[in-house]
Amino acid sequence: MSPVMSEVDEVRLGLLRAAGMDVALPLEALREVVPHPEELAALPVRAPGLLGAMALRNAILPVVDLGTVAHVEGAEAGTGRVVVVVVHEGRLVGVVVDEVRGVASVERDSLQSVAAAGAPLLFSHLVQVGEDAVCVSVLDPAALTGLPGVPSVEERRAAVSAADTADGTGPGVEEGRPSLTVVRCGGQLLALPIAEVRTTVPLTSVTPSVLTGGACLGTTVHGGRELAVLDPMTLLGLEPLSSDLVAAGVVVPAGAGDVVLAVTRLELLQHSPGPTMPVPPQATRRSDLVDGVQQLGDDTCLVLRAEGLRADPDVAAYAALGCAVAEATHESVDDDVAATGPTCLTYAVGGVLVATPLDQVVEILPSPAELTRTHVADVSGLVVHRGQTVTVVPLGPLLGRTTTEPGAGCLLLVEVDGRHVGFAVDRLQDIRPRTWADPEAPTGPDRAAPRRLLETSPLVRVAGVDRLLPELDLHRVARALLDGSTVEAPVLALEEAVA
């Protein structure tokens, strides 16, 4: 196993495309990716695939064409769009490829080592990447910097401090500056330190959901979870990214989960060419999310502050709303059973999974960071949303349950008679059609006390869930709260007392 991959459980790869091949490099060996210059300087040496040399700041970099050195039939040397700077044991070489596909994290155990009798290989491992299980060849940096007859140069870099190494910026650092993942959002370049990006994904479609609104464009599925897709331009207070310009996503950690930042395309994995220039606070609406500005060629790039994204309460709330995607059930369901009811929203309250007809929920909101306290029983406080006052009620305690996942919740916004209640729940689970309902369940008003509603609510089955769930009528609960009445009926209480 390559030395750069031998001591870790998870390997982060830069995904590339060259001469019709899907290839990758361990990020430890990928110094940066830069545009292919218009011209390359000739070198007094000939070797297969050697194109010449290019200037890279204060160094000269020999450049080879990957398709040619890999003996790909029909590969035309020098037609690649970008140059990947490969580093191994302090030596550098430039490798021409067609494009950067993104960044991915894979388990070390998923890497399959390869060998061939009688000939050295340019790649050391094979791995499947992404939801489509694309076969990717992991290039061997030792082989690339040691190509016969191809010169490599010594890496020029200042000493890296222990702090630089600890924060993930050690490899690929010059003067303590990190490498950046540079993306394009329409006409604006944005960047994040590579160490802060989990992976990049294609984003050919975004699924509208009850989360849609404001910075949230909808959801997408990644790694078996449904994640919120956020527009970084809206987060920054800039002109929103047009939906027809959304084609890729950058998965970043935030709070208790991940979110996907919608972008037009991945531009480069760019070594920071100089110190990030600060932005005056009055020049941006969200100075907490902007670390500064980098000048990349003719473009001005906003460098996002990763810790600001993680600390943003709205972003963290969207990350916490990411839910597992239930596997499709393989049981046969006849048409009559499959059409027994509406689409349901499933969510967790005090460790219990509950279903509610989706049409009862107007909107799903992140848990508010601050509330106006009311000191009213069963009410956490008030919050203003879209010009309306919303009464915030923790649903778990109302139902006699305690919250089991503090800090990971959200509000289910319910409207009755023009008034709004935000029911605080622990966690969203899924949105699925109802496939079965108890035909003998009472259809009249629920007469149980609130703390018995989970016990007395009718049971239903939703697609992809292998057990029956209580179906909670949030409209009735909200109406009872807003009217100041009780959900408990005196007749039923008397009957129970007599019994």
CATH number at residue 426: 2.40.50.180
Q: 283 and 398: one domain?
A: no
Q: 147 and 12 in one domain?
A: yes
- The predicted-structure confidence for 265-283, as pLDDT tens digits, reads as follows 887 776 666 778 888 877 7
Question: Does residue 168 lie within any of the structural domains?
Answer: no
**445 and 363, same structural domain?**
yes
pLDDT below 70 — which residues of the chain?
A: 1-8, 74-80, 156-178, 209-210, 270-273, 322-341, 403-408, 440-451, 484-499
Instruction: Say if 331 falls within a structural domain.
Output: no
How many folded domains does the chain comprise? 3
In a domain, 430, yes or no: yes
Q: Select from 323, 352, 367 the last residue of a domain.
A: 323
Distance CA 93, CA 246 (A): 34
Please tell me the predicted confidence (pLDDT) of residue 306: 86
Q: Are residues 370 and 485 in the same domain?
A: yes
Among residues of the chain, what percentage have pLDDT more than 90?
Answer: 23
Q: Are residues 297 and 345 in the same domain?
A: no
- pLDDT value for 169: 40
Residues 440 and 314 placed together within one structural domain of the fold: no
Query: In 3-state terms, the chain is what percent helix, strand and coil (to 5)?
Result: 15, 40, 40
- Rounded distance, CA 155 to CA 88, Å? 9
In 140-284, DSSP assigns E strands to 153-154, 179-185, 188-193, 199-202, 216-222, 225-230, 248-254, 257-263, 265-271
Domain membership of residue 162 (yes or no) is no
In angstroms, the CA 29 to CA 269 distance is 12
Q: Are strands 134-139 and 21-26 parallel, antiparallel or unpaired?
A: parallel
Residue 291 lies in domain: 177-323
Strands (E), 264-321: 265-271, 290-296, 299-304
The terminus-to-terminus CA distance of the chain in angstroms comes to: 73
Residue 269, judged by CB atoms within 10 A of its CB (0-12, 13-18, 19+), counts as buried
249 and 373 assigned to the same domain: no
pLDDT at residue 35, rounded to an integer = 80
Say what the pLDDT of residue 485 is: 52
Q: Which two tokens stand for residue 168?
A: 């993930």
| Co-location of 295 and 433 in the same domain | no
Chain-centroid distance, C-alpha 369: 22
Q: Is residue 161 part of a domain?
A: no
Outline where 248-361 has alpha helix (H): 306-311, 313-320, 335-338
| pLDDT value at residue 434 | 85
> Does residue 435 belong to any structural domain of this protein?
yes
Question: Residues near 442 by Cβ (< 8 Å), separated by ≥ 6?
Answer: 458
Cβ atoms of 232 and 185 closer than 8 Å: yes
- Our CA angle for 224, 226, 232, nearest 5°, is 125
Check whether residue 377 and residue 446 sit in a common domain.
yes
Cβ 266 vs Cβ 101: under 8 Å:
yes
Tokens of 219: 């959801």
Do 342 and 484 share a domain, yes or no?
yes
Closest CA to 401 of 348, 326, 339: 348
204 and 302 in a single domain? The answer is yes
Q: Are residues 51 and 134 in the same domain?
A: yes
Q: Pick from 200, 212, 325: which is nearest to 263 by CA? A: 200
d(CA 47, CA 75): 16
Specify if 328 maps to a domain: no
**Of 267, 291, 323, the domain-final residue:** 323
Pairing of strands 188-193, 179-185: antiparallel
Q: What is the pLDDT of residue 127?
A: 93
Is residue 166 in some structural domain?
A: no
Please state, in angstroms and as integers, the Cα–Cα distance from residue 75 to each residue in 21, 98, 135, 146, following that order.
11, 11, 20, 21
Place of tokens 């791995």: 127
Look at residue 430 in the predicted model and tell me its pLDDT.
76
Domain final position from 102, 125, 156: 156
